[in-house]
Structure formats: structure tokens, C-alpha cells
Amino acid sequence: MNIDQCKIFLFQGDSITDCGRDRGQEAVANHNQALGPGYAGKIAGDLLAEYPSLPLQVFNRGISGNRVVDLYARWKCDAVNLAPDCLSILIGVNDLWHKLDGKYDGTVEIYEHDYAALLKRTKKALPKVKLVICEPFVLRCGAVNDRWFPAFDDYRGAAGRVATKFDALFIPFQSMFDEAVRYAAPAHWARDGVHPTPNGASLMAYSWLRAAAKA
């Protein structure tokens, strides 16, 4: 993916993307608080530093608690209307977590179907958009225990299939963290097993940018 050919970058997803961003400033491109301190904000900072002469606009529209169905409901105003050149999506952990907690009765089949429908809708409205699909991930600590598996691996697989179907760049975050825990405990990267620490967010940003540069 030729990053320097993209002018508008949009990051979408759940709380991992949201990361406490200031939604009151979300309409302002490249706003520090609107981008948040997570991986999306770190990617934005690196892009803006590396390409200072380009008129880049970076937005974060992640919302805590979202599942694929929630993205679909707000997609026109929070994605299509922004007309991004590069759209990065990280979604999936809540599709299972809410099910485990009895708050949702969705299945991996629904997740995959709705995700594909979301991307089909996106490509119809924005045929030239460059899609980046981030692999859902968890680390075995905090809220994440044996009850998550093997179901969570099915959601990861579904995200990968959707990425392939729509010729999207796939960022293997789970594989990245599986390698990272060889060097530091899971809680070093995500204390509750789901939401990255600053260390985890920095690793995500590094991996995203590296993969985008090679694509």
C-alpha cells in the first residue's frame, strides 16, 4: 500500500481503537485528543511526522463496546461520509466477550456475514478505498481465561477470511502478541487481556506501519 498516496486515514473499531478519545473533537483531523493515546493515535503521529509535506488527515471513530453490527448501524456518518483513502478496522472481541457475559447472542457466522456485508457496502460507496483489516486478539491474563477458547480463534479466522475476500491488507495482531509474550508477560502488553497498555499500543502501531509499508 502506497501510504503517501493516501490523504485521509480512518481508524474504526471498539474500545481498543477508541482508547478514551475526545469525541467532542472528532470532526477535527489530526487532533491529539480526538485520536486518543492508543494504537490509532500512535500511528497517526508517525504518519504525520514521516510525511510532513503531505496534506494528511487522520480520524479515529472507534467506539467502546462496539460489535460489527454497531459499526454497520453508524457506518454512513462515521465512515462513508468521511471518504477515507485508507480505512483500518479492528473489530471482534466484543462479538465474543458480550456473548460470554450473556449480553449478546450472536455467533461467529453472524460476525463473518455482517463483516462481509459491511465491507461490501464500503466498497460500493468507496470503490478505491484501501482496506486494512486488523486481526482481533486477546492475551491470556485478566478477563481472558479458558472459556474464551477455542471460540475466539474462530473469530480470528473469520476476520482473516473476510480480509482475503475483499483483498484487504491483514494485520496479524494475535500472531504479533503471541510472539511478544515470549519476551514479556501478557500483562505487560494488555493488563486485562483485551485493552493494550501503552507498550502494547506502541507494538501494534509499529506492526501496522511496517505491514502497510511492505504491502
Q: In what order do the strands lie in the sheet with 86-90?
A: 57-60, 8-13, 86-90, 130-134, 169-171
Contact between residue 38 and residue 196 where contact means Cβ atoms under 8 Å apart:
yes
**Given 15, 46, 113, 153, which residue is catalytic?**
15
Q: Rounded CA gap, 119 and 132, in Å?
A: 11
Q: Rounded CA gap, 164 and 21, in Å?
A: 30
**Given 167, 192, 202, 207, which residue is catalytic?**
192
Q: Rounded CA gap, 156 and 171, in Å?
A: 11
**Given 18, 95, 114, 195, which residue is catalytic?**
195
Three cell numbers, residue 75: 457506518
Is residue 15 part of the annotated active site? The answer reads yes
Q: Rounded CA gap, 45 and 15, in Å?
A: 19
Non-local CB neighbours of 34 within 8 Å, separated by 6+ positions: 21, 22, 23, 25, 26, 27, 28, 59, 60
Contact between residue 197 and residue 191 where contact means Cβ atoms under 8 Å apart:
yes
Beta strands 57-60 and 8-13: pairing type?
Answer: parallel
Q: Rounded CA gap, 189 and 200, in Å?
A: 4
Please give the positions annotated as active site: 15, 192, 195
